[in-house]
């Protein structure tokens, strides 16, 4: 086999490793740490394939029959390396926290979900003031949602928003104003847990939401993103 095709095979292996890192974890074939390791190896292989492709493009440019293999190898390598590196860049741009709450003083507690997290590597309790400070610096917009709408109306909007987002509803208790749900990330299938608290105060209805990952020190901003999307949906529902 010509060298250009070996380089293509190398790029294809890197791409396959990247593609399988998440689904393999989701299907339980390996631990998520091995999935991350597969992504790391994919970057190394892709970098090697990309460099070799450029060298072949420079030194073998007169052999037109090899050009499609060389060009395909290069772009497969670039695309394969881009995904993990972009995730790494995003992870480095946000604090290494995994528990986000609109109320970091009186944090909404998990009740029905607590037994489901018995084997989770991240403990159930809120980490404390240090995490609250990091959240405040990185996500200052994550705040208690307030509205003049009734508690009943906000509770209904919260349930509807959770269903729209595809969350698995675990428990809903109107008397205590508590809704609990779980959400599964798309690629790796990580489970994140959500608790929503709705209560009346001084003529207003206050909605607080907490989103917490079961595994991983950093959530790469996913929990804050989830909270923003949920509150946006609730606000849109209440405005209609």
Give residue-wise pLDDT tens across range 148-158. Answer: 999 999 999 99
Q: How confident is the model at residue 1 (pLDDT cuts 50, 70, 90)?
A: low
* Mean pLDDT, residues 206-233 taken together: 96
Say yes or no to pLDDT of 26 above 60.
Answer: yes
The pLDDT, as a whole number, for residue 63 is 60
Rounded to whole angstroms, what are the CA distances from 66 to 6, 7, 71?
11, 11, 9
More confident residue, 32 or 75: 75
**Backbone phi and psi for residue 220, each to the nearest 5 degrees, phi listed first:** 55, 30
* Mean pLDDT, residues 159-181 taken together: 97
The pLDDT, as a whole number, for residue 61 is 53
More confident residue, 167 or 92: 167
Side-chain-side CA neighbours of 228 within 13 Å: the count stands at 9
Return d(Cα 139, Cα 95) in angstroms, integer: 10
The pLDDT, as a whole number, for residue 145 is 98
The pLDDT, as a whole number, for residue 186 is 83
Give 126's contacts (C-beta < 8 A, 6+ positions apart): 99, 101, 104, 107, 210
**Backbone phi and psi for residue 174, each to the nearest 5 degrees, phi listed first:** -65, -35
* Mean pLDDT, residues 176-187 taken together: 94
Which segment of 28-32, 65-69, 110-114, 207-211 scores lowest on mean pLDDT? 65-69
* Mean pLDDT, residues 162-177 taken together: 97
Q: How confident is the model at residue 125 (pLDDT cuts 50, 70, 90)?
A: very high
How high does pLDDT run on average in the chain?
93
């Amino acid at each position: 086999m010509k060298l250009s095709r070996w380089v293509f095979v190398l790029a294809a292996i890197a791409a396959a490793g990247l593609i399988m890192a998440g689904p393999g974890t989701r299907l339980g074939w390996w631990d998520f740490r091995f999935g991350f390791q597969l992504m790391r190896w994919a970057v190394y292989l892709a970098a090697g394939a990309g460099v070799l492709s450029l060298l072949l493009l420079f030194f073998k440019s007169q052999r037109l029959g090899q050009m499609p293999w060389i060009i395909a190898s290069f772009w497969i390598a670039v695309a394969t390396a881009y995904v993990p590196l972009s995730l790494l860049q995003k992870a480095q741009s946000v604090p290494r926290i995994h528990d986000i709450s609109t109320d970091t003083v009186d944090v909404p507690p998990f009740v029905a979900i607590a037994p489901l997290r018995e084997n989770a590597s991240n403990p159930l309790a809120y980490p404390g003031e240090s995490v609250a400070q990091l959240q405040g610096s990185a996500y200052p917009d994550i705040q208690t949602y307030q509205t003049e709408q009734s508690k009943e109306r906000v509770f209904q909007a919260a349930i509807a928003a959770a269903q729209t987002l595809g969350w698995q509803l675990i428990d809903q208790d109107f008397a205590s104003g508590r809704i609990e749900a779980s959400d599964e990330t798309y690629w790796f299938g990580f489970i994140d847990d959500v608790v929503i608290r709705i209560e009346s105060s001084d003529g207003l209805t206050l909605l607080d939401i907490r989103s917490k990952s079961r595994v991983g020190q950093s959530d790469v901003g996913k929990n804050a993103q989830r909270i923003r999307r949920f509150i946006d949906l609730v606000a849109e529902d209440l405005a209609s």
